[in-house]
Amino acid sequence: MGTRVRTRFAPSPTGAQHVGNARTYLANWLFARSGGGEILLRIEDIDSPRVKPGAMEQALDDLRWLGLDWDCEPVVQTARLPLYEAALDELKRRDLVYPCTCSRSDIAQAASAPHAEHEGPVYPRTCAGRTARDAPVEPFAWRFRVSDSPVFRDLVRGDVAIDLGQVGGDFVVWKNTGTPAYQLAVVVDDAAMGITHVVRGDDLLPSTPRQLLIYRELNAAAPAFAHLPLVVGEDGRRLAKRHGDTRLSALRAAGVCPESLVGLLAWSCGWIDRIEPVAARDLLPKFDWQTIPHEPFTLRREHLAAIGF
């Protein structure tokens, strides 16, 4: 008998949840519930300067509005700093990280190759000669020494190989503000919470080999991954204000029926044949990773009109 699925919602209270987030949340929930698994809730609030008041409560309201539930009290990252510090100390002890004083402009000026929209330029390893004992006086970040690029099997995309030597290079695990970076925090949290599967947008595909390296070096069991193609605007770019208001709170305020949005998202994933209202729970027998198209879903004006927005 296989391991029982345990996945998680992980909203960040740095802004409002939108239609793209809803598509990922729906797939995540259906995957867990269709197999009798668990889904936990984690609030990723370590990026404290960008956290917006009330955003966490709004995210929970959005999930409830969609008809999605979870199985625990919310786990809040800012309450878990000692866990992240212990993980960083282990990486320091083994000289797997080094202090880096380079600014973003320093890295951009040193970069010679173009880079992906969601990724910065390859780090030129300016500070890689330092060890964990060489902490400078000025503010610095901790970078992980990339030794290889693990290949992984994605539930949506199949086998994925990303060369970290060409995508970002050595990456930050602890910011110069004294807080953990996303790559370290999410590994520590998912390992501690016993997460077996991570479901997220495919803009985070390059994060997966990075996180697999950290799992390996912390001797923690890595989860399986499923990366959904993003929801994009008619210009092919990820949803943003330029595409109009696609916030779930705006849809709620306009009186959109949640089943109408769920139906649109289910149609976009190939679980139903046409756009029509459907409750999330009624999709449980229809859930299938294999029907999800590999290209982004373009959200058009007629789609929003079809759900009454």
> Coil, helix or strand for 142?
strand
DSSP 196: -
Which candidate, 100, 215, 87, 210, places its Cα nearest to that of 147?
210
Choose the catalytic residue: 52, 92, 175, 241.
241
Confirm whether 241 is a catalytic residue: yes
What domains are defined for the chain? Answer: 6-76+229-306 (3.40.50.620), 81-188 (3.40.50.620)
Q: From residue 152, give the alpha-carbon distance in Å to each of 87, 212, 218, 265, 299.
A: 23, 9, 18, 27, 29
pLDDT digits (tens, 9 = 90+) for 194-238: 999 999 999 999 999 999 999 999 999 999 999 999 999 988 888
CB 156 within 8 A of CB 292: yes
For residues 164 and 162, give the distance between their C-alpha atoms in angstroms, rounded to a whole number. 6
pLDDT of residue 37: 96
Mean pLDDT value across residues 174-197: 96
For residues 230 and 168, give the distance between their C-alpha atoms in angstroms, rounded to a whole number. 21
Which two three-digit tokens encode residue 125?
């390893």
Which candidate, 272, 247, 254, places its Cα nearest to that of 262?
272
CB 170 within 8 A of CB 91: no
**Count of other CB atoms within 10 angstroms of residue 136:** 11
Top pLDDT among 111 and 254 is at 254
Model confidence at 115: pLDDT above 60: no
Which candidate, 160, 247, 254, places its Cα nearest to that of 211?
160
pLDDT digits (tens, 9 = 90+) for 253-305: 999 999 999 999 999 999 999 999 999 999 999 999 999 999 999 999 999 99
One-letter amino acid at 119 equals E
Q: What share of the chain is helix, strand, coil (3-state, %, to 5)?
A: 35, 15, 45
